[in-house]
Chain A
Amino acid sequence: MTSTGNAQLINQFLAENSPATTEEPTVLRLEKIRKSKKPAPFTYFYKVKNHHELFRVGQSYLNDYNNGVRSFAISSLGYQASQQRTILGLASFFDHQDSLKENLKIGIISDNLFLGPFKTIVQSSSAKGMMLNTSTASKVQILVHSFYGHFDFVDLNELIGFANMPDSTFDELIKEFLGQFDLVFWDVPELHKIQTERSSYYPMIMCFDSLTIIVAQGQTRREEVDRIRTFFGGYGINLKGLILDEPGNPRANNPETKRPWWKRWFN
């Protein structure tokens, strides 16, 4: 991987049928490549096509980070894949900032770890339990998928599963959990899910420092963006900005965003 960000290496995983593949040598090799600044000699690499745009986007978030913002929420109108790609791009950007501290702990929290772009990476990650101490309850263990020490994936559903704990304990748990990371990216679920279980998601929403909405060009409507903005604005979360998605990316099939064909044609 290179440090310039022009060709961001995000992931490499070994072919499942490769008998010589082990976790330890891969990590070592990745670390070695990163430090030697040589091109990775692996078979599968992912490279950012629009690296200029990633740099532009990443710089904006880096400024916020330098200003003390630690928790970034990325939302959209059903474009989960775009959300995940944005988070991966940003996480890689931060991971490779030499100006930041050496072992920057980046957490990615999503309810779709095994779907979309996250899937391959999470599958290549090593799962381990994270022990959290709360003042009122016993110790709580949360499963964390760590990708070679670069970033840790946490299942949001698991986190929400603790919502039945007393409010104060859950809030404390969330804070304790977030304290484990230097930087957290929230892959925000679709709005209708949050609205259905508003109380469960409330502690999570309150952890957002800034909200970014992904706008699919030619698909997302003004009123839809306004609805998300208004919803999170009700919780005091300011809209950081909009990230435009290229036209043609698939949209999640959910009842909220699905419109009858004649409406899609005429409005």
Chain B
Amino acid sequence: MKRYRYISLGVPLLSGAISCYLYFSQNIIATVSLGFKSVSNETNSPTNAFSKMLGENNDTVSPQEIIEIASSQDFLHAVASAIMTNENFDKLNLNPFSAKKIEPSYKLFPECEGDTDCQTLELSKKLKDFIDIRQHSLVKTKFFLDVKTLDLYTSRALLKIVTQAMVNSRIESMRRGLSEQRSMTHELIEKKTKELNNINFAKITNEFKLLAANYESVERRLIDLNAAYQSKQFEVGRMEIVLRQTDNAINRGASDNDREIFSQQETLRNQISQMTRDIHSFEMQKGSWGTSDGVILAQLKREWRQKKNELARLPSQKHSVTIVDKFIEQKDRDSNFTNFEYMVAKQELVNLKTKTEFLSEEKKQLVTKKNELEQKLEQLKPGFEYLKLLEGKQVQIELLESTIVPDIVFDQRAASETFFKRAEKEKIGIFSILISLFVMFCVLVYRYLFDSRIFNEVEAKRSFDGVEIIGVVPDFEQF
């Protein structure tokens, strides 16, 4: 830098001078900012609330999409059209920020020669510089719309136009989205209906319903039959037992031995009873006993115990042989009727079994058929459900379409009105320093590489190999 001090000083000075010129030759820009909020994600958004009520998930707009509205060609064209048709168009200052001379609006597009479409198109290109949307640093759903022009009046007027255009744009965008959804849903419904008609879904459903009813009837009848069969089977079983027991009783009857034992027992009981009475009589007349009465009483008591022991040794008999004979006689009489009843009941049981088996077979067939139809219906069910959902959705979309509310809400008052120059002092200063450093570096490198001047003895020796460096020119001083 010492070697090339003029360049080292000149480049920053030149850069500084250019920066100063650029800074002071800039126009002052008037900015009007208006805050707005995106309510598309909020529960209190009217459209969202209505969508949720209908069970519809409404599409939301992302912050990036909102920011990009300002650079959307369609939007800018819409704004340009609104500006062109504005009654104060001639009063607006739509000159570019770098304009050296302020021209009236109607003179801004001389190349269009009065063609409105051309003017609108050209204006929409310029609007990119005038409109900006930025997001709040902390609140994600909060945004600011900045409108910058060369005078405050134009900025304010433009702000009104742009806010209205943004609202219209959002409504139009949402309506377009819903309309597309509706037409797509309609197409899908038609397609699905056609598909279901082709496979005769209604016929299959009716057939299944009929089959199900039939199955239920068979099922009920089978249950009744089963109950009757069970009841009859119980009755037959009981009859069989009765008959078998009757036969057993008849066959067994009262044996001779029983009859003899029964006779001995009766005799013994009578003797014991007589002896008991005698003993009791003797004991009652105890005071008037003679000498032989005590011996007789002892004799009686001995005999009484002997008879008691004999009775005890004989096998016990519950019923008297007479009663048994009467019972057998009665059962024998009843058995004829019971046997007839049993035969009838058994025949009925066989009939019930046959019917049950027939119904079971029928039920089995119905179940197979029902399962087949059920499977078929299961396969078709999603399509049918889908169709139902589509129909529901179409209704929801139609309702939404008729009740669209914009999902951006502008503040009532403009946030700020500021005046500034396009390139700030600090920015231009830093830029100037960086540029001058870069240029200086490039120039110094270039100069160093291509500089053929000789600066010292070493360079002289290197440049002229073999030539003697004699010394240094003498210098004189006066004293």
Q: Could you list which residues of chain A lie within 8 angstroms of chain B, going by C-beta atoms?
A: 10, 44-50, 53-54, 56-57, 60, 82, 85-86, 88-89, 117, 212, 214-215, 217-223, 225, 239-247, 249, 265-267
Residues of B1-38 at the interface with A, using a CB-CB cut-off of 8 Å, are: 3, 6-7, 10
Q: Is B479 an interface residue (CB 8 A)?
A: yes
Q: Which of B451, B456, B471, B476 contacts A48 (CB 8 A)?
A: B476
Are the CB atoms of A57 and B474 closer together than 8 Å?
A: yes
**Complex: how many Å from CA A249 to CA B476?**
13
Stretch at the interface among B109-117, B379-387, B457-465: B457-465
Please give the distance in Å from A187's CB to the nearest CB on chain B: 13
How far apart are the CA atoms of A215 and B456 in the complex, in Å?
9
With contacts A218-B453, A222-B463, A265-B7 taken as known, whether A56 is within 8 angstroms of B471 at the C-beta atoms is: yes
How far does the alpha carbon of A45 sit from the alpha carbon of B479 in the complex, in Å?
5
Question: Does the CB pair A48–B450 fall under 8 Å?
Answer: no
Q: Are B476 and A241 in contact (CB under 8 A)?
A: no
Bound: A212/B456 CA distance, A: 17
Q: Is A218 a contact of B473 with CB atoms below 8 Å?
A: no
Which residue of the partner chain B has the closest CB to A86?
B473
Name B's interface SS: mixed
B452 contacts the other chain (CB 8 A): yes
Chain A CB within 10 A, most for which of B3, B454, B463, B473: B473
Partner of A57, one of B451, B464, B472: B472
Which residues of chain B are within 8 angstroms of A223 by Cβ–Cβ distance?
452
Q: Are A266 and B454 in contact (CB under 8 A)?
A: no
Q: Pick the residue among B447, B456, B468, B478 that contacts A217 (CB under 8 A).
A: B456
Could you tell me if A220 and B454 are in contact, using CB atoms closer than 8 angstroms?
Answer: yes
| Residue from the list A56, A82, A244 in contact with B460, Cβ < 8 A | A244
**In the complex the two chains form, is B477's CB within 8 Å of A47's CB?**
yes
Given A56-B471, A60-B468, A212-B470, are A217 and B477 also a contact pair (CB < 8 Å)?
Answer: no
Could you say which residues of chain A place their CB within 8 Å of the CB of B478? 44-47
The smallest C-beta distance from A41 to any residue of chain B, in angstroms, reads: 13
A212 CA / B450 CA spacing, docked (Å): 26
Query: CB-CB < 8 A to B467: which residues of A?
Result: 239, 241-242
Q: In the complex, what residues of A have CB within 8 A of residue B460's CB?
A: 215, 242, 244
Q: Does B476 lie within 8 Å of A49, measured CB to CB?
A: yes
Contacting residues, chain A, for B454 (C-beta < 8 A): 215, 217-218, 220-222, 225, 244
| A residues in contact with B284, CB < 8 Å | none
Query: In the complex, what residues of A have CB within 8 A of residue B470's CB?
Result: 56-57, 60, 212, 240-243
Known: A218-B3, A220-B454, A266-B446. A57 touches B476 (CB 8 A): no
Which residues 434-459 of B have a CB within 8 angstroms of A?
A: 443, 446-447, 450-457
